[in-house]
Structure 1
Amino acid sequence: MDVLEIRYENGHMTINVPVYFPCLQKHARKLFPMIKRYCTGKDRAALGRYLYLLRAFLQAQMETGDGFSGVPPDWEYGSRFVTYSVTERKSLYKRADSNYRLYCKLEVDDEWMK
């Protein structure tokens, strides 16, 4: 998933997903309800899967240092995190984890998990 389109009554928003996530919790709290309300099920499922894989990738980087265990080997989005320092990886993992938990808590969409 590269781009997420949110179309609502007053306009639209285009989000470059690999650049935007992991985001701060305050931004996620504003964005996820809009996604739940205005995005298609296919887009919500793709975003849920992306957040899940991002969290798994960063967790694997924290534990093993390589970042590729537990994630599909062809997951192209992980390459930008490989050169980050340990402190940056820890911060990114915390953000990704909080994004994923909030996404699940708001029950934006759980179809991708089935």
Structure 2
Amino acid sequence: MGICKYNAEGYYDPTAYEGIRKADADARKFKIIYPTGFMELNLTNFFPCTLDKARKVFSLIRKYSSKEDKQRLLHFLQGLENGYAIEMMEFAEKAMSYPEKSVEYRKYNSRFKEVRRLRQRTARNIELFVQGGNLNEN
């Protein structure tokens, strides 16, 4: 289900469309305000990230973000990991429906491995974030 440019009666409604689109984009942003400036992350583009990047950004989040923001980030990461798990199962099922040496099997098996790598990286991001603690502070 996406955002539609037309209202329920079928008329073009760009004002509502742009408002919802911008609100949705703002919900995917994570802003960290620290003494010398701020950092704004687009969650869908930034995560899953490498461990080096995660260590740097999580230390800033632990120091300068509110408890609600930390919980929102954790919820986002857990949802991302669950989404990857579902995708993995779908690609595995599709791959198994083709003969092992076929082009389709290799395609879906490759996609399965890619999504598995992203899920593992997301799980390591969650582990690093939770391991650092401070989720109950602020």
Greater C-alpha radius of gyration = 2
Aligned residues: 93
SS, match of residue 85 in structure 1: helix
Match of 2:71 among 16, 40, 45: 45
> Which residues of 2 match residues 1-114 of structure 1 at below 5 A?
1-62=27-88, 64-65=89-90, 85-109=111-135
Task: Flag structure 2 segments of 5+ consecutive residues without an equivalent.
Answer: 1-26, 92-109
Is contact 1:55-1:96 (8 Å) kept?
yes
In structure 2, the CA distance between the partners of 1:103 and 1:42, relative to structure 1 (3 Å rule), is same
Question: How far apart in 1 are the matches of 2:63 and 2:135?
Answer: 11
Deviation at 1:110, TM superposition (A): 5.5
Question: Could you say what the CA RMSD is over the residues aligned between the two structures, in angstroms?
Answer: 1.9
| RCO higher in structure (CA 8 A, sep ≥6) | 1
Q: Deviations over 1:35-63 (max 9, x none)?
A: 0111112111100101111112212322x
The percentage of aligned residue pairs carrying the same residue is 27
Deviation at 1:18, TM superposition (A): 0.9
Is contact 1:35-1:108 (8 Å) kept?
no
Question: How far apart in 1 are the matches of 2:53 and 2:128?
Answer: 11
Q: Deviations over 1:16-35 (max 9, x none)?
A: 01110011111101111110
- Moved runs in structure 1, 4+ residues, more than 3 A? none
Partner of 2:96: none
Task: Flag structure 1 segments of 5+ consecutive residues without an equivalent.
Answer: 67-83
Is contact 1:32-1:108 (8 Å) kept?
no
The TM-score normalised by the length of structure 1 is 0.73
SS, match of residue 12 in structure 1: strand
